[in-house]
Structure 1
Amino acid sequence: MSTELPIACSLSAAELPARLAEMNDLGRSALVSVERTKTTAVLRFRHGAEPVDRLAAIVAAEAWCCAFLDMTLSETGDAISLTISAPSEAAPVLGELVAAFAATPG
């Protein structure tokens, strides 16, 4: 019996736009930098109570719908780091998450 989690997001099509908009809004207001490899991304945000609370809510929500991702928040001085790790077959999902945070208005 396999213990691997399926590479599938359980978020509904109706819920997805709001989640992506929340990530985009937070990225526009607080994202400082992004470092990315194929299976890991480290996003750094300006430190503050609002970004911490919003990131914690997003991490909790993503843990429910995308359990195959490993998301960790850490606070260091003037930044909050969100580290997201994904299995190699989920690299496209990781890319979509990073893009959602890093998107800028057109």
Structure 2
Amino acid sequence: MTHVGPLNGPPIACTLAPAAGKAQVEKWRAFDEDYALETERTDARLTIHYAKVDDSTRRLRELVAADSTCCAFVDWSIDETHAHLRLIVTGTPEQIAALNVG
């Protein structure tokens, strides 16, 4: 599966130390490999669809909790009301671009 998740590398404004940032990126990559389905992007919004199972729901919540703190320059939310999980990240075009999504 091609990497479609939120982080290819820590964004410039991420507050994690380099080692922690690298570890978080690896967690996202592993999660994306397991569950990512599709990505939708506009200038100010990124929506990523994931398979919805107990493990994916738990892991996505953990990832978003961490990134809501270290990458607080965008708004993170999870929509669980559909057949698939949806990660919704909103911000300015510059903020969305800083996430470095592949």
Structure 1 residue runs without a partner (length 5+): 1-6, 100-106
Check the 8 A contact 1:30/1:51 in 2, yes or no.
Answer: yes
Q: Which of 59, 72, 81 is the matching residue for 1:54? A: 59
2:17 is the counterpart of 1:12: yes
2:5 is aligned to none
State the shift of 1:38 in Å.
Answer: 1.7
- Number of residues of Structure 1 aligned to a counterpart in Structure 2: 91
- Aligned-residue CA RMSD in angstroms? 1.5
Structure 2 portions without partners, runs of 5+: 1-11
Q: CA deviation at 1:17?
A: 1.2
Residue identity in the other structure for 2:69: W
Deviation at 1:68, TM superposition (A): 1.3
2:30 maps to what in 1?
25
Could you tell me which amino acid in structure 2 is paired with residue 55 of structure 1? L
Q: Which amino acid aligns with 1:83?
A: I
Segments ≥4 residues shifted beyond 4 Å: none
Which whole-Å CA distance do the structure 2 matches of 1:13 and 1:76 have between them?
Answer: 35
Equivalent residue, structure 1, for 2:46? 41
